[in-house]
Structure 1
Amino acid sequence: MLSVNSEIGALKKVIIHRPDDGIARISPKKAVELLFDDIVHLPQMKEEHEVFRRVLQYVIGEDNVLDTERLIEEGLDASPEIKEELIDKVIEYEELPPSNKEFFMSLDANALMKLLITGYHQDEDHIYFDPIPNFIFTRDIAVTIKDHIIITKAAKMARYRENLLARFIFYAHPFFKNLSKEDRIINLNHLDKFPPSKRGEIVSLEGGDVMMVNDDFVFIGCSERTTEYAIESVKKVLFEKGLVNNIAQINIPNDRSCMHIDTLFTIINHNDIVCYKPTIYDGVSSNVIVYRKDGSEAVYDSVKSFFLHEINPNANFIFSGHGVSPYQEREQWTDGCNLVALRPGIAISYDRNPKTDMALVDAGYTIIHARDFIRDVEAGKINPDEMTNTIIALPSNELSRARGGSHCMTCPIVRTTI
């Protein structure tokens, strides 16, 4: 059912979250607290995300683009006991009066789903708790490693309710029911299995720091959001389960501008990596430690060196901003390195990084705007199955303000095997 063994195998099923109405209630002061970088115009953001969703649907099929709202709603209907557990956990975490439970339990699945995501009940005109604006970045809530799923654990408490909802989806929804029965869920929130260290370090790992690259390698970034202790904890389980033989710990600066490794590089084709040159190619403030199942280790002074020696000697690095300052810094900030591959050579970017687009064109890619892609598919001028070496550029005036690109906005759960 679940199957991901690369970053570029043809995408067959993916989880996304449409921008929800809770985002419209975020004030400038709250934005900082909720880890949202700007105040967005929600109608425009929804429109841009709808373009994104339609691109995905035209390439992989409408039934294969799974929306979190529908998954949660269907899970609430299908699993009453787990629904009650979720309500109990949310009430406890949000420090609500226990008397609210009866009201929450009385809501139909659709109304409860909206309340759990937005924090607001429209009929009551009652704000129960803060929204979770970063839920649009479904990459962070879970990672598929072959036929297993890692339910991640966010570094910041502002994202804790996202985590509760992710757990609910994978335990309660009928589509994922067998995962738990077959011991294919690696739940980092299970404190008996993933306890704090003897020095009090907690397990903190977000999906933007994890890449399933090939049958033998998982990359995990050690970053602002993912700790070395978390990597050690996950490494042990992945080796014990025989899922991979090598885990590459990619150390990057502990900085907001590069909070996960997928803000610094993503793989879009068999040989092509879009990346931020100073950190990934030059190795500034970065290195790689490879841990092997047999207990041996290797250290590389840059991601470039590691890629060429361990992953692909023919790797081609395409630089954000064409590798020139100040454009490389500007375009890394606006997610020029954060692309999701729909299959080898077909990827989604933002339309606001012209120097990166030039670098992609120089590397042999065609850039097409997402709206033009949709128009031409609907007119029969483009067959998505026949495209090669194409970057589909999303409208991004508002989406980019949230500080995450197409890679961040997707949680792939099925790709073809490479």
Structure 2
Amino acid sequence: MYMTIVNPRLINIQDFDYPLPESFIATHPAIPRDSARLLIAGRLNGEISEARFSEIAQYLPSNSLLLVNETRVVRARLIFNRSSGAQIEIFLLNPVDPADMQLAFASREPVVCKAFVGNARRWKGEVLYLSVSVDNMPVTLSARLVGRVDNAFLVQFVWEPGDFTFARILEAAGKMPLPPYIKREATIDDASDYQTVYARQDGSVAAPTAGLHFTDEVMNSLASKGISTSRVILHVGAGTFKPVSTDRLENHTMHAEQIVIERATIEQLIEGVGRPRILVGTTTVRTIESLYWYGVKLLIDGEGSHFNINQWMPYNPKYDVSVTAKESLLAVRSEMIRSGLEVLSGETSIIIAPGYQYRMTDILITNFHQPRSTLLLLVSAFTGDNWKTAYHYALDNGFRFLSYGDACLFFPAGANLNH
């Protein structure tokens, strides 16, 4: 069913390169968002067909389970000016103190974040100030360098008065963090365009872009077909745009991202075993496949194991055991009950590449991805070499690529959707 490579570590990333002219990179979304084109591959004897995203329900099996990532993009770009006039851009990556996303964005106390700093050599360590208006009240936001970590900085943010949450401060002071390949300034429209209609919890610095095509009308059409929706959260980090710069995959370090899953979702997944699972976007795939491996980890390593999936765990012979999706989910549920948890939080650096065997993904909805990216490797692990045929077709027929581009609906060859 899947292309098999004995050792994914030895994958040569050159095999996942393709020419992508800049003119094919969408700089604005389709309007309305569900009018985007939809490329359908692998549904009927591997043939490729086209539709509009608004019509997607008719191509999906009834009584399926749709899984979406309801993370919300924060306005992570903050522009400060030094007294000399030099502009300093601070791009938030993730909170460090407090490290929990929900606690950080709900905080009314100082927050320390890991961040990239543009024009950092001009920042001499003085406190930077930015005046904004929040609910018609003047607020002063200050930024202070407190350290370095890896290739980034640690920045402490303080605001006066402290009546507002950090999330509200960013909403007022920040700009939407458009991907680096969209070479324009963010506009007012991006505040809604670069957000899914079901976004709920602040935490991402990039949108789960496959979800951008969904509208309330599309969700209703899916429900009318008996397709129910379950929601998970993976807070998308800036590492999602990081290309594989090494020839061999074994030398690439995956970024870690935070996962949040409610126990009610685990129950839905257990009850839904046997129904086709439709995953919206690579972030949802990483979440659900990581959840499976957490269940395996609990079964092998015992209760109390942390939900932390490193990039090579799925390929570790220690965990190469025959565990069904249901067995894994039951193990996770048992651990949550034992620990008194209604919400499961974890972290994943999972790398899904050719040679990976999917355990929880039956159908994939995704966008067109950058050459040499781990996202393209994830797609290839699902479709085999069919991704090349699909991408050639898309380039030959003027599809729009990347975050604001068109969508793909992938079925794996030989998939049994009634398992």
TM-score for both structures, normalised by structure 2: 0.26
Tell which has more relative contact order, 1 or 2 (C-alpha 8 A, sep 6+): 2
Computing the radius of gyration from Cα coordinates, the structure with the larger value is 2
Tell me which protein shows more strand as a share of its residues.
2
Tell me which protein shows more helix as a share of its residues.
1
